[in-house]
């Protein structure tokens, strides 16, 4: 059972999301929160698998709450996956939330099926990279700032095969798609991805995508 915490300052939004998720056999909403501060307290007390986090809220906004919740120095041994919900499709602050460790980004006007798929994807340990908005957000941010030449040095620890896998991860391919592209087993792909994340000190595939763009392994606009 996927345990979900819904953090949003609009009661109708919380009610709508709860009704959609609670109708599923494999999901349950364990709590709601009206701002980021309450969301942090309930996330720490209830240890949900996934937090659906709104961006603009009073007291503590969702971006600050995401950074605090996923801060390695303050997070518990099993921090939840954070799925950022917003009405804004391009926002540098949301990019910051992805860097902080959020596992995906979903617009509030997405279809219910997209919401359900997003929760299942991030709960399963993957990052929500399929929606074009997430990749476009990353591309626009990377294009708008000068490249740090020191970032590329982080790739030195990777083998040639791991670099190949990282390129395909950064292009948004799933493990199965990568396995087919490289003619290897899907389990082998999973092993490569795990080693890449470990060697580079990355939380998940979202951060791997960001690094792929920042190092120039993948260029914005290319798939």
Distance, CA of 221 to CA of 31 (rounded, Å): 40
Neighbouring C-alpha atoms within 13 Å toward the C-beta of 101:
21
Q: What stretches in the chain show pLDDT beneath 70?
A: 75, 88-96, 99, 126-152, 220-223
Distance, CA of 82 to CA of 222 (rounded, Å): 27
pLDDT value, residue 89: 58
pLDDT value, residue 90: 55
Task: Name all domains of the chain by residue range, CATH numbers in brackets.
Answer: 2-141 (3.40.50.2300), 147-214 (1.10.10.10)
Dump pLDDT digits (tens) for 183-192: 999 999 999 9
pLDDT value, residue 179: 93
Dump pLDDT digits (tens) for 170-181: 887 888 889 999
Give the three-class secondary structure for 165. helix
Handedness of CA 201, 202, 207, 212 (dihedral sign): positive
pLDDT value, residue 130: 45
Distance, CA of 143 to CA of 27 (rounded, Å): 38
**Full-model pTM:** 0.71
pLDDT value, residue 87: 76
Residues 121-131 as b or e (16 or more Cβ within 10 Å = b): bbbeebbbbbb
Q: Give the DSSP letter of residue 2.
A: E
Residues 189-212 as b or e (16 or more Cβ within 10 Å = b): beebbebbbebbebbbbbbbbbbb
pLDDT value, residue 11: 95
């Amino acid at each position: 059972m996927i345990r979900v915490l819904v953090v949003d300052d609009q009661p109708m939004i919380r009610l709508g999301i709860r009704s959609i998720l609670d109708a599923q056999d494999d999901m349950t909403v364990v709590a709601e929160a009206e701002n980021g501060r309450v969301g942090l307290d309930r996330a720490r007390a209830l240890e949900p698998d996934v937090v659906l986090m709104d961006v603009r809220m009073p007291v503590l906004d969702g971006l600050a709450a995401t950074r605090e919740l996923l801060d390695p120095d303050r997070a518990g041994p099993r921090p939840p996956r954070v799925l950022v919900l917003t009405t804004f499709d391009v926002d540098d602050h949301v990019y910051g939330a992805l860097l902080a460790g959020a596992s995906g980004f979903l617009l509030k006007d997405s279809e219910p099926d997209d919401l359900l798929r997003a929760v299942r994807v991030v709960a399963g340990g993957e990052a929500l990279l399929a929606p074009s908005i997430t990749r476009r957000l990353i591309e626009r941010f990377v294009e708008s700032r000068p490249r740090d030449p020191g970032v590329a040095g982080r790739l030195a620890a990777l083998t040639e095969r791991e670099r190949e896998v990282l390129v395909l991860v950064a292009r948004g391919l799933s493990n199965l798609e990568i396995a087919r592209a490289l003619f290897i087993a899907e389990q082998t792909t999973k092993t490569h991805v795990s080693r890449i994340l470990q060697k580079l000190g990355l939380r998940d595939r979202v951060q791997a995508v960001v690094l792929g763009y920042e190092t120039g392994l993948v260029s914005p606009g290319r798939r």
